[in-house]
């Protein structure tokens, strides 16, 4: 029966991956989720229940590591599809770009080789907007035609995403043996968190609610709800027209950090008492960055306007993302409900 096909989801304990698992199980697929250590499997089940999944029937786990090629052959066995979300998070002792780039590129190739050997029909790769819109300046929204230009302004993580996505397309073209590939490029991922492991974009909202961000740096970027990112992965996996295509996941137009703060204050009342009300001038952040490593990390992005278009996913796949406001509020509510931020 069509519905009992098995999908391998890599990096099963991650934020996007857990929502992909929920969407797949609800759609009647069997899911095999990879973890670096099977000790995490109970935590993952707990996260899925937090995400509204009633039963974890149809879910199994496999131990696999992006730095160990042989672990992927066993993981991909018996799978018709692969959703490759896992991305190596460099340990804090990552000193060089290679600590990001090499495991990311090798990891993609290990998974693709194993998938080809297992006779997988299609792989969906989770790339990032970091592979689309960095290293360049555009006044119009970025589209799937755009690629990050690798220069000294591009951060190691974004570089790793760009190089590993290009490696995937090259593999499919030169040695894919007819296996299909589709790619999803999410912008800043928001949405209801399931544990204290969540995306970088959510850190901003956490800092605002906690009062750790007293004023907003001037940054404009796109955002998207994690539930819609998972839905787009499912569409990219199943729809014939998605084969050989990349899709940007973004809801609406870009939001500045101050726009995000304004949405929180407008809707959360007292709970948003700590949220900043103003923007910091760029010169001030550059000055403070001399003494503050956290601000130093923000400095390259100051004044950056990164708008992106999801027209392709909407028109070709019928994707319908929630609004950015809804994604922001779902994020904040879950941070408050799980006790991760202390509000009044």
Task: Outline where the chain has alpha helix (H).
Answer: 15-26, 41-50, 70-76, 97-117, 156-175, 200-210, 226-238, 257-268, 282-289, 293-298, 311-317, 324-337
Pick the closest to residue 192 from 322, 88, 314 (CA basis). Answer: 322
CB neighbourhood size of 78 (10 A):
15
Catalytic residue set: 161
Instruction: Classify the C-alpha dihedral 124-126-127-132 as positive or negative.
Output: positive
* Residue at token pair 């956290």: 294
What is the C-alpha separation between 45 and 194, in angstroms, rounded?
10
| Structure-block tokens of residue 284 | 């001030």
What is the C-alpha separation between 334 and 296, in angstroms, rounded?
29
DSSP characters over 226-293: HHHHHHHHHHHHH-GGGTT-EEEE--SS-EEHHHHHHHHHHHHGGGGTTS--SBPPHHHHHHHHTT-H
* CB-based contact 280:214 (threshold 8 Å): no
CB neighbourhood size of 283 (10 A):
9
CB neighbourhood size of 143 (10 A):
16
Question: What are the backbone angles phi and psi of residue 289, rounded to the nearest 5°?
Answer: -65, -20
Q: Distance from first CA to last CA of the chain, Å, rounded?
A: 52
């Amino acid at each position: 029966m069509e519905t009992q096909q098995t999908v391998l989801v890599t990096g099963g304990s991650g934020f996007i991956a857990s929502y992909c698992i929920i969407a797949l199980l609800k759609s009647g697929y069997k899911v095999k989720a990879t973890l670096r250590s099977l000790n995490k499997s109970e935590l993952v089940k707990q996260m899925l229940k937090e995400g509204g999944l009633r039963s974890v029937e149809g879910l199994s786990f496999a131990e696999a590591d992006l730095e160990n090629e042989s672990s992927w052959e066993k993981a991909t066995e018996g799978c018709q599809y692969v959703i490759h979300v896992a991305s190596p998070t460099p340990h804090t002792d990552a000193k060089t770009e290679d600590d990001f780039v090499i495991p990311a590129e090798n990891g993609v190739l290990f998974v693709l080789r194993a998938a080809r050997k297992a006779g997988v029909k299609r792989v969906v790769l989770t790339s990032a907007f970091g592979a689309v819109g960095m290293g360049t300046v555009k006044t119009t929204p970025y589209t799937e035609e755009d690629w990050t230009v690798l220069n000294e302004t591009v951060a190691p993580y974004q570089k790793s995403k760009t190089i590993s996505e290009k490696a995937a397309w090259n593999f499919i073209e030169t040695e894919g043996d007819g296996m299909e590939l589709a790619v999803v490029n999410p912008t800043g991922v928001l949405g209801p968190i399931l544990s204290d492991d969540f995306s970088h974009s959510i850190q901003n909202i956490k800092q605002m609610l906690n009062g750790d961000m007293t004023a907003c740096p001037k940054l404009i970027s796109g955002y998207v709800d994690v539930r819609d990112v998972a839905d787009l992965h499912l569409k990219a996996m199943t729809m014939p027209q998605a084969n050989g295509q990349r899709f940007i996941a973004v809801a609406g137009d870009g939001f500045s950090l101050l726009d995000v703060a304004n949405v929180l204050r407008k809707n959360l009342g007292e709970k948003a008492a700590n949220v900043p009300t103003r923007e910091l001038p760029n010169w001030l952040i550059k000055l403070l960055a001399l003494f503050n490593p956290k601000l130093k990390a923000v400095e390259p992005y100051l004044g950056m306007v990164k708008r992106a278009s999801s027209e392709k996913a909407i028109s070709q796949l019928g994707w319908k993302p929630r609004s950015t406001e809804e994604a922001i509020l779902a994020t904040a509510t879950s941070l408050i409900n799980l006790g991760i931020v202390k509000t009044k």
